[in-house]
Structure 1
Amino acid sequence: MVHHKLPNTGPEREALRETGQFWTPDWVAEAMVGYLIAGGCQNLFDPAVGAGAFFRAAKKLQSMSHKTLTLSGTEIDPQALEEALANGLCKDDLANVEITDFVLKKPDSLYEGIVANPPYIRHHRLSRHTKAKFRALSMKLIGKPLDGRAGLHIFFLIRALQLLAANGRLAFIVPADTCEGIFAADLWKWITAHYCLEAVVSFTPEATPFPGVDTNPLVLMIANTTPQGDFFWVRCTKPDTEQLREWVLSDFTKAGDDLISYQRRLSEALCFGLSRPPVEGVSFDLTLGTFAKVVRGIATGANDFFFLTTEQAKIIGIPDEFLIPAIGRTRDVPGNDITIETLAMLKKAGRPTLLFSPDKRPLGQFPAAVQAYLRQGIDMGIHERSLISTRRPWYKMESREVPPILFSYLGRRNARFIRNYAGVLPLTGFLCVYPHSTNPDFIDRLFKVLQHPQTIVNLALVGKSYGNGAIKVEPRALERLPLPPEVVSETKLVANKKYEQMALLF
């Protein structure tokens, strides 16, 4: 068995993010190749051969099953194939591997069995030129361009499906955003209309194939056959288990104690999320959007320039009229509320608590100290940063009303709602929750609902999942958060039919 230790920090970790190369462990690779063998595939194609995990798995399963698999594939990084040789493959194993760009290369053949761990490169690391080509590809294959936040792995998947022969099988291991991202609805509408989703494998945090990686992986098993209304959904609870491979080879009939298996309706799974367990007994009649609107926190574009400590602001000489109390990091809020005492503690610790917020007046009309600081920003190239360069003028800060409630939507501490007693504006580590009523009693009661354990549990129904159980919830998704009707009733909150004006039921 080949083990890969991932670097935690430094240049090596950054290189991983650039290449998206996170090698598949043997026990997962064997299960994925087993899906192809169980379907009678005699040819295995890997569009991202890398260190050769699937080729090694194929050789092992060939020996166990006495079946022959012809190996072929593509790889864009020749150095990765050197690692494959070091991991036990021989040159003959790699004889049919072509060094090329799988996604953008013009396809020339179909494949009966495709298996892959595509590079996990997030959208912000892709060039505009590459994104434009991917946009054209999705337009051609799906009939509409996918949202620009789709990463490289998404386009590996749709290209591979295009090249899957009739009755062929495909097994991909991908991050959960494949099923949760803003593009997911369009993607899965196309997939499930043209292909048969046979199984989805998820993993508990303890069983993750990629320890220490901020991603929640899923294995997708798809056949190029008539789409069906049901599929198998399994959660693997133990790493290095052979039961996953045996379950796949048994045609999904032998699920051992290390697996929790369900047969699910496709319609239910597409509604609640392919990455999430089956949902029962959850009402979406009342959601956070019934009682509040959600807006993202302020994106400064350059926290190092616009988010200041009191000492920095004093030295620069920025007048108070251009400074707004703000909070930047989720870990700067240790509890479930922000108070004046919280800000005092942060100031004492030397943490930034002031947002430098210039308006749109001409630079020459600011006080002298502000003019000097803005000119310093120009010298530093702040005005050329991607987000800031779109603003007119570049230094005009986004504005928000002070939100009574914040939501810490991604962090090492559990996602949570926070009561904003200090009147701060949040940066992008938080979402702003604006109740439809400014009545203090109403806000307190709504906050009580949001703090309820069942409400917190429901966050998993609307959030995007990452490693170690972390979730990220975007503004529109948070508005879809279901609130337990019995808890809402206990707080005596009522919305009118249009959900525009709120009233208290006394």
Structure 2
Amino acid sequence: MNNQELYCQKTDSSHRKKFGQFFTHPDVAQFMTNWVLASGQKTIYDPAFGLGAFYLPIKHREDINFHGSEIDSTVLDFGLDSSLDSSLDSSLNVKLSIKIEDYLLTWGKQHQNIVCNPPYMRFQKFLNRDQVAKEFQEKLGIKLSGYTNTASAFLLKSISEMDGKGRLAYVMPLEFLNTGYGTMVKQELIINKHLVSIIKLDCEKEIFPDATTSVGIILYDSYKKYDAVNFYSLDSVNSLKEIAKLVPTKNILTNDLKPNTKWLPYFQKDALIVKNNELVSLREYGRFSRGIATGANEFFVLKPSDLKHKLFLATEYLPCITRSSQIKKTIFDLEDYQQLVAQDAPVYLFAAHDQHSEAADRYIQYGVSQEFDRRFLTKSRNPWYKTEKREPSHLWLGVFSRGGYKVVLNRSNALNLTCFHGFQPNLLGINQIEKLFLYLSSQVGRQIISLSMRKYGGDLDKFEPNDLNMALVPAPSYFDQMPEDLVKDAITWIEKTGTIPQNIDEYFAPLARMESQSLIV
């Protein structure tokens, strides 16, 4: 059992989650340290030392100075007790110096080589987030997005600390390549043409068994400028040893890399070529927004049987889809909803007003006794039991998916929780709902919309509302040419079979094509 396994066995998972600890595979650490030391510089700095994964491969090499920072004394003590401390082994040549400190709050240093597997915490769990954001603004003139995770903040800070003589290698969750907050990170990576390669590790479960996001390696050389960036997609850790002999999935001119575009498609061997002159952003027709977030589904979500003994007024609860699994058909109507009611499914949302019944008041007091009013979301609402006000959405699109997203034409009066994003049309979009639904359901539509997905580990995909709103859909002129009989017959076919008719796929097919070794235009 190695030191990583021993540490995970002896520490609680809640502790590791608190500090965003995901430990580096030895082969990945070996590759990264070898790459940065090829700069010729003999000093390495690791901003998140942890168990010393990057120190172990080089601890017997001569004339290497290894410095590091670590915020968690527990993981550092465990690592040092595992004979990492050079003073405990006379055969070690590397000079090791580690400080207990918060890297994101420690400023004023420059480094030759940096190698790091930064802690990964989403913005909700970002330690000292407000203070970190303030110092980034003051020290770097960078305003961090509220959605920035810790790993991206580490990378931004490390890029600013390179002394211009060495290299940087970072293990990173690659979701930033397709997100809004990642625009700033991508800008800093390419602004001075020091980005060498981004390696996507499709074997992320082999490397980080507990990871829920796609993983990759950023290679950055502060000493040289590069006119193009290599994008690699590897299905084995062993491939890292042969990467110098591999042909990259894509080789993109640095000047052609745009920070505000999505980069994950560059890891695909076949690129989707879309006809931009026939497409517009979805926001031309309306907007998707996330579903209702209650903050305490155990309290707010009700079954029909709950209503019978709680005696709420009919105005104190609303029809609501609370789980993606409740939707079995791509066209959902009132009859489908009534079937869920008959099955006593949890399809009601508690929605008491300020002037509510005694029955609702008793239920609210019950909620207080169970401390539902002190949850993260509920404690910021006034009153705490008042949920977000929404209208039923015309289209639902699943937030998470594997192997293809779920899109639903909603003909019921049901609201939806956060299992779906809901679409509300504007004046232009109100007459295009069925055509948008058919496009989103078609093969080409799915391919184009999927360019806006965020990729996570285990083939898990996720949409954010803004990603969808910026996704490409047919222009009004394209929809206007779509025969109404074609639309009507397609909807009838879907109602009967649950499948998209072939002529719909054929109608949208001219909007895009797959092309080998090409770029998205």
Identity score, percent: 23
**Aligned to 1:255, which of 246, 249, 255?**
246
Report the Cα offset of residue 335 of structure 1: 4.3
Deviation at 1:326, TM superposition (A): 0.6
Distance 1:47 1:348 in 2: 57
Residue 130 (structure 2) pairs with residue 132 (structure 1): yes
| Cα shift at 1:426 | 0.7
Moved more, 412-421 or 24-33: 412-421
- List aligned pairs for 1:21-420, cutoff 5 A: 21-59=21-59, 62=61, 68-84=63-79, 89-92=84-87, 95-107=96-108, 109-126=109-126, 130-194=128-192, 196-204=194-202, 209-225=207-223, 228-238=226-236, 240-241=237-238, 243-247=239-243, 250=244, 254-255=245-246, 260-268=249-257, 270-277=259-266, 279=271, 281-284=273-276, 285-340=279-334, 342-343=336-337, 346-347=340-341, 350-359=344-353, 361=354, 365-411=355-401, 414-420=404-410
1:306 and 1:47 mapped to 2: Cα distance? Answer: 43
Q: Which one is further off, 149-158 or 75-84?
A: 75-84
Over 3 Å counting, the alpha-carbon distance change for 1:341 and 1:379 in structure 2 is same
Aligned 1:481-492 pairs, distance under 5 A: 481-483=471-473, 491=482
TM value normalised by structure 2: 0.80
Are residues 169 and 350 of structure 1, via their aligned partners in 2, closer, same or farther at CA, if it must alter by over 3 Å?
farther
Deviation at 1:85, TM superposition (A): 5.0
Q: What is the distance in 1 between the residues matched to 2:443 and 2:365?
A: 50
**Distance between the aligned counterparts of 2:415 and 2:255, measured in 1?**
42
**Cα distance in 2 between the residues matched to 1:345 and 1:374:** 29
Partner of 2:492: none
Query: Partners in 2 of 1:483 and 1:7 — Cα distance?
Result: 49
Cα distance change on mapping 1:384 and 1:86 into 2, 3 Å: closer
Conserved? CA contact 1:142–1:190, under 8 Å: no
Q: CA deviation at 1:229?
A: 4.5
Q: Give the Cα separation in 2 of the matches to 1:287 and 1:436.
A: 13
- Whether the aligned pair in 2 keeps the contact of 1:2 and 1:87 (CA below 8 Å) is no
Shift of residue 219 of structure 1? 1.2
- In structure 2, the partner of 1:451 is 441
1:170–1:223: 8 Å Cα contact kept in structure 2? Answer: yes
Counterpart residue identity of residue 103, structure 2: F
Mapped partners of 2:6, 2:115: distance in 1: 23
Counterpart residue type for residue 473 of structure 2: L
Counterpart in the other structure of 2:466: 476
Q: Give the 3 Å change call, closer, same or farther, for CA 34–386 of structure 1 in structure 2.
A: same
The answer as to whether partners of 1:120 and 1:151 remain within 8 angstroms in 2 is: yes
Structure 1 residues 342 and 262: CA distance shift in structure 2, 3 A: farther
Pair 1:348–1:192, CA change in 2 (3 A): same
Query: What is the root-mean-square deviation in Å for CA atoms of aligned residues?
Result: 3.4
Q: Displacement, 1:376?
A: 2.6
**Unaligned residue ranges in structure 2 (runs of 5+):** 88-93, 485-506, 508-521
SS in structure 2 of the partner of residue 48 of structure 1: coil
Structure 1-normalised TM-score?
0.82
CA offset digits 1:292-317 (Å, max 9, x no partner): 32122112222121111112222221
Q: Counterpart in 2 of 1:496?
A: none
Distance in 2 between residues matched to 1:343 and 1:197, nearest whole Å? 53
Contact 1:118-1:174 at 8 Å conserved across structures:
yes
**Structure 2 contact 156–188 (Cα < 8 Å) conserved:** no
Contact 2:396 2:420 survives alignment (8 Å): yes
CA distance in 2, matches of 1:473, 1:94: 46
Going from structure 1 to structure 2, the CA distance change for 1:226 and 1:34 (only over 3 Å counts) comes to: closer
**What is the alpha-carbon distance in structure 1 between the residues aligned to residue 49 and residue 70 of structure 2?**
6
C-alpha distance 181-6 of structure 1, shift in aligned 2 (>3 A):
farther
Change (3 A) 1:212 1:384: closer
The aligned counterpart of 1:499 is none
The structure-2 alpha-carbon separation of the partners of 1:348 and 1:201, relative to structure 1 and needing over 3 Å to count, comes to farther
Give the direction of change, closer, same or farther, for the CA distance of 1:438–1:46 in structure 2 (3 Å limit). closer
**Counterpart contact for 1:201–1:235, Cα < 8 Å:** yes
Letter in 1 for 2:322: G
CA distance in 2: counterparts of 1:439 and 1:123, whole angstroms: 34
Paired residue secondary structure (1:167): coil
CA-to-aligned-CA distance 1:374-399 (integer Å, 9 cap, x gap): 23333333333332333333333212
Displacement of 1:114 in angstroms is 0.3
